Each structure stands twice: as structure tokens, then as C-alpha cells.
């Protein structure tokens, strides 16, 4: 998407010139799924698919938003309006939350603005378009109003937006990856302490291929909140004997030893995933430092299996993508990413096998599911910024 085109679309929308253009990336996650809200580790990276925004200041207190991806009108509200939007205007909540939380801290956000947004990132596809637009709003307000807020705090406000304006009890991974991303690196993040480390994604002859299921209408949000609650209930039972604040503090052996406290089959499976997935993320990043790509691939496959059997968030679309990927030549590993049920998967594939891979997996998917999956080769890029 080019800057001139975006500026032109801004003029067509608002009838005047826009001032600055920003980009905020989506994300993938190499390993560590559903571990962020369990105080475990994740290993995400920002991608070159994302959301662009053209900003123009206003003299009054109105915010006027237009999305080039939504069939609808300009959404307008006052900067001091903190009510949660419903219905057609729901997407404005991602912006409204960020404005609300930043204005709580910075009273110099004293005038409104127009904002034109356009994404080349499919929305609802597990690549975190929601965090991309939250962090877009965050970086715009930070830069335009010269706020001294740091990026990690923007991520925290994005998580709060998701929790309180959208109603999804998600962790901090998505926002952290979008705003803290670094070109050609993934972020090894401890979601308990927010300590992090950039690790170059050195894949040699291999590349990461993103596969979107294109599954329509998933009911992922309520299932997501169920998982959060089930893990919390399991944690409470373990706390009868263990002095821990999060499942992410446990290694596999300690969890096994105390698992008798969790007298509920579902909670046991959810907690087992949270613990084992965190350990896999730690092992995979160690393997990355050792250059052991095959081991990373096996851990990625094991992650999918655990998300299927223990966490039960895959579904036939994601299973078809992962299982078809595992059968192809030159594949190190494949798994679902994001919340699950629909959304996307990733595969690590030998570069010279990539075309054949897409053809074969694409065909298996169409035959089994009845419509096409989409394949994306994204680059790993820096976090949200003015362009």
C-alpha cells in the first residue's frame, strides 16, 4: 500500500489534506500459545501485513474515524466520550479505549482528529488486526501529542482496551509484538515479568509461511474467555499447596506432582497445556540460540497437538492445515497461531519447496473444507511507527 494513495483516500474521505501516515503491523507467534495470560513465555514477531493510518488534526474535540475495510460511514465521537460502542460502530472501541486510557494520563490530548485507516491484514484471522489498530492509535497519539509514554505502556493500554472495551480477557502478547517488533527478529517475552529479549529469526534455507483458514463467523471470544477462566480455576486449586501466582511458574515435573489437586478433567487439560506450552517456548528459544531448527520444528508440531488435545482450540480447519503441512517435503514444523478455532497457522518450509507446499496444502484444504485457504509470505518488521 503506498503513502500517496493513502493520502489521496484521506482527502476523498474528509475533504481536506491529511498530515502524517503511520503503519502498525500484525503479528505471528512462533511458539507459546495461550501462555501470555497464564504468566508464561511467548515468541512472537511483527509482520509486514498490518494497518495503515492517515492522521489529520482538528480544531474541535471530535474524533472522526473511517476504515477503508468496513462498509460504512465515518464514525464520530468526542474525545472525552468513554462509552463502549455497540453494533456497526463496534470497531471504534479499539480506538476509543486507547484514547480513553491515554487521556487519563495525559491532559494535553485536548483536540480531536480525523483518522483514515486501511489494512492489508485480514481481520479476525488470528494475525492480530485488533492489536494492530490499538497500537496504531497509541503510536499516533504518542507522536502527534508528544507524549512521554513508553511503548510497553502502550501495549498495556491496548490489553486493557481489549479486556474492558472489547470484552476479551486476552493477555499482552499481541500488543507487545505489534508495538515492540524488530526487523528480522522475534521477541522472547516473559509475560509474568515483561522481561524480553530479541532473537534473530535465523532460518537459513527455510521461511515462515502464513496460512489463513478464512473460516467465517467463529465464536472464538466466548471460548477464549472460558479457557482463561478454566486456567484460573486450575491455578486456584494448585495454590492450595503451591506458592505460585501463575501457571507459567511451573515446570512439567512440579505440575505433574501436584496435578492431583485439580479434580476436574477439563481444568487439568487446560493447565497441562499452559504449563507444557510454556516449557516448549523456553526450549524452542534455546534451540534457536543453538541453531537446532529441527528441534524447533518438532516443538512447534507438539504445540499444535497440545492445542488440539489439551486446550481444544484447533477445529477441523486449523487441524487440516497443520496435518497437511506435516506431510509435505521440506517442512520443519507447523501449527495454529492466535486464539484458535479459525484464524491462521504457520509452517516453516524450505524456500525451494514453498510453491509446491502451497499448492499441495491448498488443494488438501479445499478438498476437505470446501473453500480456499490463503497463503502469505510476510517479512518480519519493526513495530508500529510513522512512515
Query: Is-contact 249 3, C-beta < 8 A?
Result: no
Write down the least CB distance from residue 94 to ligand ADP, Å: 6
Q: Which does 208 bind (CB under 5 to 8 A by kind): ligand ADP, Mg ion, none?
A: none
Which of 128, 169, 325, 328 binds ligand ADP (CB under 6 A)? It is 128
| Orientation of helix 93-105 relative to helix 151-161, angle to 10° | 130
Span interacting with ligand ADP, options 9-17, 27-35, 124-132, 371-379, rule CB under 6 A: 124-132
Which of 75, 117, 247, 281 binds ligand ADP (CB under 6 A)? It is 117
The whole-angstrom separation of Cα 240 and Cα 26 is 39
Q: What is the DSSP string of 290-313?
A: HT-HHHHHHHHHHHHHHHHHTS--
Nearer to Mg ion, 125 or 279 (CB): 125
Residue 214 cell numbers, joined: 478464512
Q: For ligand ADP, how many residues bind (rule: CB under 6 A)?
A: 20
Q: How many CB atoms lie within 10 A of CB 302?
A: 18
Residue 130 lies near Mg ion (rule: CB under 5 A):
yes
Nearer to ligand ADP, 220 or 287 (CB): 220
Write down the least CB distance from residue 85 to Mg ion, Å: 16
Residue 146 DSSP symbol: T
119 backbone dihedrals φ, ψ, rounded to 5°: -110, 145
For 322-353, give one letter per residue: b (16+ CB within 10 A) or e: bbbbbebebbbbbbbbbbbbbbbbbbbbbeeb
Residues 90-109 contacting ligand ADP, CB under 6 A? 90-91, 94
Q: Which does 376 bind (CB under 5 to 8 A by kind): ligand ADP, Mg ion, none?
A: none
Residues near 244 by Cβ (< 8 Å), separated by ≥ 6? 235, 238, 250
Q: Which residues, in sequence order, are bridge partners of residue 77?
A: 63
Nearer to ligand ADP, 73 or 193 (CB): 73
Q: Across the beta sheet with 206-212, what order do the strands follow?
A: 331-337, 344-350, 206-212, 374-376
Residue 264 cell numbers, joined: 476436574
The whole-angstrom separation of Cα 120 and Cα 131 is 14
Residue 123 lies near ligand ADP (rule: CB under 6 A):
yes
Annotated binding-site positions for substrate: 33-36, 224
The whole-angstrom separation of Cα 156 and Cα 172 is 7
Residue 70 lies near ligand ADP (rule: CB under 6 A):
yes
Nearer to ligand ADP, 66 or 206 (CB): 66
Letters for 71-110 (x = contact with Mg ion by CB under 5 A, - = none) are ----------------------------------------
Q: Is 174 a catalytic residue?
A: yes
Span interacting with Mg ion, options 129-137, 260-268, 313-321, 325-333, rule CB under 5 A: 129-137
Write down the least CB distance from residue 220 to Mg ion, Å: 9
Write down the least CB distance from residue 161 to ligand ADP, Å: 11
Nearer to ligand ADP, 56 or 343 (CB): 343
Nearer to ligand ADP, 117 or 186 (CB): 117
Residue tagged active-site, from 4, 110, 174, 352: 174
Q: Which residues, in sequence order, are bridge partners of residue 86?
A: none
Distances (CA, A) of 277 to 16, 219, 256, 361: 50, 23, 14, 26
Q: Give the footprint of Mg ion on this chain (CB under 5 A).
A: 128, 130
Q: Give the footprint of ligand ADP on this chain (CB under 6 A).
A: 51, 67, 69-70, 90-91, 94, 117, 119, 123-130, 133, 338, 343
| Active site positions, annotated | 174
Amino acid at each position: 500500500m503506498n503513502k500517496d494513495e493513502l493520502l489521496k483516500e484521506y482527502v476523498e474521505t474528509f475533504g481536506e489534506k491529511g498530515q502524517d501516515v503511520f503503519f502498525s503491523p500484525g503479528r505471528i507467534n512462533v511458539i507459546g500459545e495461550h501462555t501470555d495470560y497464564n504468566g508464561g513465555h511467548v515468541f512472537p514477531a511483527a509482520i509486514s501485513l498490518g494497518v495503515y493510518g492517515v492522521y489529520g488534526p482538528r480544531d474541535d474535540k471530535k474524533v472522526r474515524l473511517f476504515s477503508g475495510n468496513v462498509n460504512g460511514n465515518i464514525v464520530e465521537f468526542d474525545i472525552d466520550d468513554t462509552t463502549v460502542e455497540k453494533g456497526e460502530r463496534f470497531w471504534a472501541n479499539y480506538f476509543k479505549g486507547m484514547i480513553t486510557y491515554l487521556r487519563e494520563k495525559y491532559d494535553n490530548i485536548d483536540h480531536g482528529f480525523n483518522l483514515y485507516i486501511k489494512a492489508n491484514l485480514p481481520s479476525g484471522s488470528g494475525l492480530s488486526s485488533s492489536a494492530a489498530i490499538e497500537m496504531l492509535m497509541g503510536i499516533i497519539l504518542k507522536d502527534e501529542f508528544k507524549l512521554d509514554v513508553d511503548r510497553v505502556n502502550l501495549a498495556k493500554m491496548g490489553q486493557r482496551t481489549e479486556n474492558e472495551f472489547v470484552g476479551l480477557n486476552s493477555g499482552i502478547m499481541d500488543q507487545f509484538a505489534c508495538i515492540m517488533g524488530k526487523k528480522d527478529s522475534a521477541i522472547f517475552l516473559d509475560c509474568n515479568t515483561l522481561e524480553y529479549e530479541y532473537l534473530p529469526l535465523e532460518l537459513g534455507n527455510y521461511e515462515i509461511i502464513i496460512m489463513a483458514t478464512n473460516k467465517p463467523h467463529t465464536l472464538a471470544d466466548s471460548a477464549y474467555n472460558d479457557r482463561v477462566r478454566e486456567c484460573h480455576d486450575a491455578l486456584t486449586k494448585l495454590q492450595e499447596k503451591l506458592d505460585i501466582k501463575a501457571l507459567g511458574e511451573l515446570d512439567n515435573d512440579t505440575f505433574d506432582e501436584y496435578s492431583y489437586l485439580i479434580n476436574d478433567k477439563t481444568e487439568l487439560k487446560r493447565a497441562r497445556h499452559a504449563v507444557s506450552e510454556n516449557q516448549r517456548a523456553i526450549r524452542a528459544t534455546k534451540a534457536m540460540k543453538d541453531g537446532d531448527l529441527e528441534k524447533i520444528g518438532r516443538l512447534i508440531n507438539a504445540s499444535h497437538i497440545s492445542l488440539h488435545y489439551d486446550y481444544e482450540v484447533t477445529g477441523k480447519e486449523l487441524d487440516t492445515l497443520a496435518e497437511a503441512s506435516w506431510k509435505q517435503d521440506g517442512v520443519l514444523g507447523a501449527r495454529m497461531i492466535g486464539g484458535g478455532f479459525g484464524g491462521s497457522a504457520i509452517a516453516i518450509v524450505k524456500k525451494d519447496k514453498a510453491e509446491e507446499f502451497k499448492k499441495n496444502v491448498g488443494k488438501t484444504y479445499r478438498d476437505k473444507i470446501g473453500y480456499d485457504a490463503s497463503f502469505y509470505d510476510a517479512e518480519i518488521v519493526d513495530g508500529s511507527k510513522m512512515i
